[in-house]
């Protein structure tokens, strides 16, 4: 039943809105009722980074109110969300705001309110097994010229490059650096080569949750049959998918590579022969930090590099500013002047560091673009690349 009334959640208290019972039921089902505890304090709107960049930023509180009431959301605001969870850190009612955004995206697909350019991403995922339109035959190209063994049931570690580090030229260097470190540390590791499946992050972030379930089911069966126990990912997005969106299985342990490198350092399998003097600042990727509380492992790895001096940015760990590349935003347009990474790059440059280090291919892409605008000469580098340089005792540049 549709009713017309007024809502204090609208910009004007007198503006009429349509309450749709059927839509309300769909939203409640899609969010599993998670929206109910919201009491409209507005802290989420105040803590969302969009407020730092737009004159009229996304009104997160209003989105939550509309969802509670069953008011159609056709202005596309749920697509702005980078799923960074900065708002959730502050929400006094523990509302899983980013998950609500994704549930609203799921409904938007059903109702045909989807930004241009996202359907091809999903078709690429369906036909090619990755969101980057990369041919499946080129998935293992990142390892060309390296002698990386195929994973077998007797291999200890599956090195999982993921779609971005497989197909994006810049990010391929991260996968290569990791494989080189594993070789130097004499880790028993292998990859699935061209047969490596997508973790499903794009389907998750774009709200294609039914399709995600199919990916998860196929991956679970695949890894079980292959005898995968320890799976080390290059990207925090893949780590988040395997840890939180694939069913737990006895003996199966997904790790982000910074966790694994920290473990190798503690065991003495990875060490540095000489000083590598460099001033660094570290950017916490949202999918590693806020989503999974992995703040110490990357810092532990950096602290093990002799001669490295780490200066923290004012906003770090749980307060870190998002780079803007999560939540499927890599596949959506962001206007010049509205990039979170521009603010983050400025903050990084102000530390006086030589390098801005991070541990996520999406962060690398966003921050590298923004650092170029600063003329600071600062390099953006992944933790894995920095470790590889320190092990070799020489910069790649």
| Positions in the binding site for ligand SF4 (CB under 6 A) | 38-44, 47-48, 50, 60-61, 64, 81-87, 91-93, 95, 97-98, 101
For the record, the structure tokens of 7 come out as 């809502």
* CA-closest candidate to residue 170, choices 361, 8, 387, 363: 361
Nearest-approach distance from CB 105 to ligand SF4, in angstroms: 12
Q: Which is nearer to ligand SF4, 290 or 299 (CB)?
A: 290
**232 vs 323 by CB, closer to ligand SF4:** 323
Q: How far is the CB of 311 from ligand SF4 (least distance, A)?
A: 25
- Closer Cβ to ligand SF4, 65 or 379, answer by number: 65
Torsion sign (Cα): 68, 71, 72, 76: negative
The DSSP result for 255-276, as a single string, is EEHHHHHHHHHHHTSS--SS--
Provide the minimum distance between the beta carbon of 175 and ligand SF4 in the complex, in angstroms, as a whole number: 28
Closest of 251, 264, 219, 263 to residue 238, by C-alpha:
219
Rounded (10°) CA dihedral 127, 83, 320, 94 = -140
The dihedrals phi and psi of 278, each to the nearest 5 degrees, come to: -160, 145
- Residue 88 Cβ vs ligand SF4, minimum distance, rounded to whole Å: 7
* Closest CB to ligand SF4 among residues 36, 303: 36
Closest CB to ligand SF4 among residues 56, 397? 56
CB of 344 to ligand SF4, least distance (A): 14
* Choice between 47 and 54, CB closer to ligand SF4: 47
CB-based contact 104:207 (threshold 8 Å): yes
**Closest distance of CB 322 from ligand SF4, Å:** 6
- With both helix axes pointing from N to C terminus, report the angle between 60-69 and 21-31 in degrees, rounded to the nearest 10: 120
């Amino acid at each position: 039943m549709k009713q017309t009334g007024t809502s204090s959640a609208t910009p004007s208290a007198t503006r009429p809105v349509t309450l749709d019972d059927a839509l309300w039921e769909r939203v409640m089902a899609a969010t599993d009722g998670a929206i109910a505890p919201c009491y409209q304090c507005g802290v989420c709107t105040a803590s969302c980074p969009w407020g730092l960049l737009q004159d009229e930023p996304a009104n997160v509180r209003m989105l939550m109110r509309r969802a509670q009431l069953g008011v159609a959301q056709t202005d596309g605001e749920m697509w702005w969300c980078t799923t960074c969870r900065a708002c959730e850190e502050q929400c006094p009612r523990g509302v899983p705001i980013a998950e609500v955004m994704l549930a609203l995206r799921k409904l938007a697909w059903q109702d045909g309110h989807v930004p241009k350019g996202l359907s091809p991403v999903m078709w690429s995922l369906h036909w090619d097994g990755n969101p980057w339109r990369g041919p499946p035959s080129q998935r293992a190209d990142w390892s060309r010229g390296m002698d990386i063994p195929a994973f077998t049931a007797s291999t200890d570690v599956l090195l999982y490059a993921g779609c971005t580090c497989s197909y994006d030229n810049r990010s391929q260097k991260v996968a290569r650096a990791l494989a080189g470190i594993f070789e130097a540390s004499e880790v028993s590791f292998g990859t699935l080569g061209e047969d490596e499946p997508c973790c499903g992050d794009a389907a998750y972030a774009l709200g294609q949750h039914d399709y995600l379930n199919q990916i998860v089911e196929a991956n679970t069966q695949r890894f079980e049959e292959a005898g995968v126990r320890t799976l080390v990912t290059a990207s925090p997005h893949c780590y988040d998918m395997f840890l939180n969106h694939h069913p737990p299985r006895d003996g199966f342990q997904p790790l982000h590579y910074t966790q694994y490198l920290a473990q190798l350092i503690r065991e003495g399998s990875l060490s540095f022969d000489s000083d590598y003097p460099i001033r660094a600042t570290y950017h916490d990727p949202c999918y590693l930090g806020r989503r999974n509380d992995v703040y110490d492992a990357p810092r532990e790895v950096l602290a093990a590099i002799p001669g490295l001096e780490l200066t923290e940015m004012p906003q770090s760990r749980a307060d870190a500013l998002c780079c803007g590349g999560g939540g499927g935003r890599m596949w959506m347009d962001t206007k010049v002047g509205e990039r979170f990474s521009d603010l983050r790059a400025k903050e990084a440059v102000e530390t006086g560091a030589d390098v801005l280090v991070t541990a996520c291919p999406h962060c690398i892409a966003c921050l590298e673009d923004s650092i170029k605008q600063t003329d600071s000469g600062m390099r953006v580098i992944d933790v894995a690349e920095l470790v590889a340089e320190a092990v070799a005792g020489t910069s790649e540049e």
